[in-house]
Structure formats: C-alpha cells, structure tokens
Amino acid sequence: MELNTNQIIIEPLLTERAHYLRKENKYIFKVHPKANKIQIRKAVEDAFSVKVAAVNTLRQQGKKKMVRRIEGRKPQVKKAIVTLAKGQTIGIFEGV
C-alpha cells in the first residue's frame, strides 16, 4: 500500500515528554500505522524542509475501556520519534 506524504504524518504530539525531547533536537509525531521508517523520514523532510538524522518508531497499545458491562479497547497508536540533523529545527514547535 503506497501512502502519500499527507497521509503519513497524522499530527504532532505536544506532551511534556515531547517538550523535553525538543532540547535534544527530537520531535514526536503520531503516524499512520502502516508507515515505515523510510516513509516517515521522507514525509518529515518534505513537509518541514529539514534533514532527518534518525527515526525511531513505537506502537502504543490501546487502553481497555468499560462501557456498562462491555469491555472494549481504544485503537492502537503508532508514534515516531524523529531526530533532526544538528542545527535543524521545525518552526511550528517554537514558542509552544
């Protein structure tokens, strides 16, 4: 399945952990579950005009939820931690 750049990056994650990782030039994004590291690298480079040094991915299992007596799950989420080359920054995160 071929994904285009707009489908790969779903949204940036603005959490406390993401804020601390920005000091190490790392940014966290929620990405499409079927996207691989090469596609994620290309999507970030195209979308933000930066040079990516490394991409680490992880899958976060959905939490269990109870609705009355029926047990369900929230959907699984795939995250990408993108490390930029030295001297590169993503402007949308500045001042957040």
Q: 2 pLDDT exceeds 80?
A: no
96 domain-assigned = no
11 domain-assigned = yes
Instruction: Band the pLDDT of 57: cuts 50, 70, 90.
Output: very high
The two three-digit tokens of residue 43, written as one number? 């999507």
pLDDT of residue 90: 86
Proportion of the chain above pLDDT 70, given as a percent: 95
65 domain-assigned = yes
94 domain-assigned = no
pLDDT of residue 94: 67
d(C-alpha 73, C-alpha 14), whole Å:
23
CATH number of the domain that 63 lies in? 3.30.70.330
| Mean of pLDDT values over 52-65 | 95
Residue-number span of the structural domain to which 82 is assigned: 5-86
42 domain-assigned = yes
Rounded to two decimals, what is the model's pTM?
A: 0.86
95 domain-assigned = no
| Mean of pLDDT values over 54-65 | 95
pLDDT of residue 38: 95
| Mean pLDDT for all residues in the chain | 91
Exposed / middle / buried, residue 45 (Cβ in 10 Å: 0-12, 13-18, 19+): middle
* Number of domains observed in the structure of the chain: 1
